[in-house]
Amino acid sequence: MNSQHFSEEALRTFTNTIFLKMGCSVEHAELASDVLIRSDLRGIDSHGVARLSGYVRLWEKNRINTKPDIRIVHETASTATLDGDSGLGLVIAPFAMKIAIEKAEKCGSGWIAVRNSNHFGIAAYHALMAVEKMMIGFAMTNASPLVAPTYSNERLLGTNPMCYAFPAGKYPPVIVDMATSSAANGKLEIAQRSGRPVPEGWIQDSEGISSVDPHELKKGGALLPLGSDKDHGSHKGFGLGATVDILSAVLSGANYGPWVPPFVAFLEPPSDPVGRGIGHFLGAMRIDGFRPVDEFKFHMDNWIERFKSAKPISKDQKVVIPGEPELAAEIYRQQNGIPLADAVITDLYKLAEKLGVEKPMASM
């Protein structure tokens, strides 16, 4: 698979121009671009500019409202439900997180359920907004159904990611950002492009039998919950995916389970919705709502040092602190540019042509 490198700035400018073309305000276009570019910087290639044409196609089908009236529909001092008015999740989720942070500033914590939204990009972007304010950040979202519950061969849950982000002292934040399926869809896409078989335990075929064919989903197969099978705790992965679905959608009034509208524009949303759009759940808790910040920082640093220095099985591979690989990618790509696969570049060029904007230039 060939690739070329693009500077962060070139992709940011291009993405911003596309969102402006879609009718976003200057503020919204910049924010949405920042979420996508941050994903590419952090090495989560599946959630960055590779998705840009997907958002455009949803907008063309009138499934994304680029001038949303995002509003609180229900609230208490520490909780609220937000209606995203079919806007970009890339814009709605940071808006929700701002409210969570404001509530946390006032009463220790803030929790926002969001309905009537769309794909919100990487969960870590939103959770990290809280970390910058010396708070613990939480972000989760439901998503198009691709995952089968344990014992079923029906796709009823999305890969429903959950993210917990913790500030530290001298070390970078600890960021647990994970799909609740055995493998994220992005990993499956990489295997599809390479044509290589995937490990047993990622997917099952339409009959519910374990498969290593990365194209199984197109034939009625499903991703498996974290744990892969009952013996290894797939009921736990199912439980985590269910938790994300309920907090994001049953609590907010969004669609849940098989009613979640698909991200891909060529599939129509179910004709019998049980709510509005897709749902998210975001939260922020002030560290000093529990403990003086200095004490917390000291012990987070100690926690990180202890786990980093854990006895390794092989001397070539130390224990990885959650969030380390993404931070390493971010530092590297800020300096060296963002590699895009040829298929993604072609996609962006087509988009440039269709919307009449300048193509991004590869930097090397």
Considering only residues 279 to 308 of the shown chain, the ones binding a copy of itself according to CB under 8 A are 285-287, 289-291, 295-296, 299-300, 302-303, 306-307
Nearer to a copy of itself, 77 or 264 (CB): 77
Nearer to a copy of itself, 319 or 361 (CB): 319
Nearer to a copy of itself, 122 or 156 (CB): 156
- Applying the rule CB under 8 A, the residues between 187 and 246 that interact with a copy of itself are 199, 201-202, 207-208, 226-228, 231-233, 235-240, 242-243, 245-246
3 state DSSP class of 42 = coil
3 state DSSP class of 320 = coil
CB < 8 Å & 24+ apart, contacts of 305-311 = 305/171
- Applying the rule CB under 8 A, the residues between 69 and 108 that interact with a copy of itself are 74-81, 106-108
Q: At what angle do helices 123-131 and 89-107 cross, to 10 degrees?
A: 30
CB of 350 to a copy of itself, least distance (A): 34
CB of 85 to a copy of itself, least distance (A): 17
CB of 226 to a copy of itself, least distance (A): 5
Q: Which of 9, 61, 152, 267 binds a copy of itself (CB under 8 A)?
A: 152
Helix (H) or strand (E) holding 203: strand 203-204
The two structure tokens encoding residue 244? 């994300």
CB of 81 to a copy of itself, least distance (A): 5
CB of 170 to a copy of itself, least distance (A): 15
What backbone phi and psi angles, to 5 degrees, belong to 265? -75, -20
Q: Which of 153, 212, 270, 357 binds a copy of itself (CB under 8 A)?
A: 153
Residues whose CB falls within 8 Å of the CB of residue 222, separated by 6 or more in sequence, listed in order: 146, 147, 148, 153, 154, 155, 203, 204
Helix (H) or strand (E) holding 96: helix 89-107
Residues whose CB falls within 8 Å of the CB of residue 216, separated by 6 or more in sequence, listed in order: 203, 204, 205, 206
Nearer to a copy of itself, 310 or 364 (CB): 310
Q: Show the CA angle centred on residue 180, arms to residues 177 and 185, nearest 5°.
A: 85
**Window of 3-11, 146-154, 330-338, 343-351 that interacts with a copy of itself by CB under 8 A:** 146-154
Size of the site for a copy of itself (CB under 8 A): 86
Contact pattern for a copy of itself over residues 244 through 283, marking x by CB under 8 A: -xxx--xxxx--xxx---------------xx--------
Q: Which of 1, 62, 266, 313 binds a copy of itself (CB under 8 A)?
A: 313
- Applying the rule CB under 8 A, the residues between 113 and 142 that interact with a copy of itself are 113, 136
What secondary structure does DSSP assign to 48-92, as a single string?
TGGGHHHHHHHHHTT-S-SS---EEEEE-SSEEEEE-TT--HHHH
CB of 132 to a copy of itself, least distance (A): 18
Helix (H) or strand (E) holding 162: strand 162-166
Q: Are 14 and 29 in contact (CB under 8 A)?
A: no
Nearer to a copy of itself, 23 or 258 (CB): 258
Nearer to a copy of itself, 61 or 291 (CB): 291
CB of 89 to a copy of itself, least distance (A): 18
**Is residue 353 left, alpha or beta, with left meaning phi > 0 and alpha meaning psi from -120 to 50?**
alpha
Residues whose CB falls within 8 Å of the CB of residue 121, separated by 6 or more in sequence, listed in order: 35, 36, 38, 39, 47, 51, 89, 90, 93
Nearer to a copy of itself, 20 or 179 (CB): 179
Our finding on whether 172 is near a copy of itself (CB under 8 A) is no
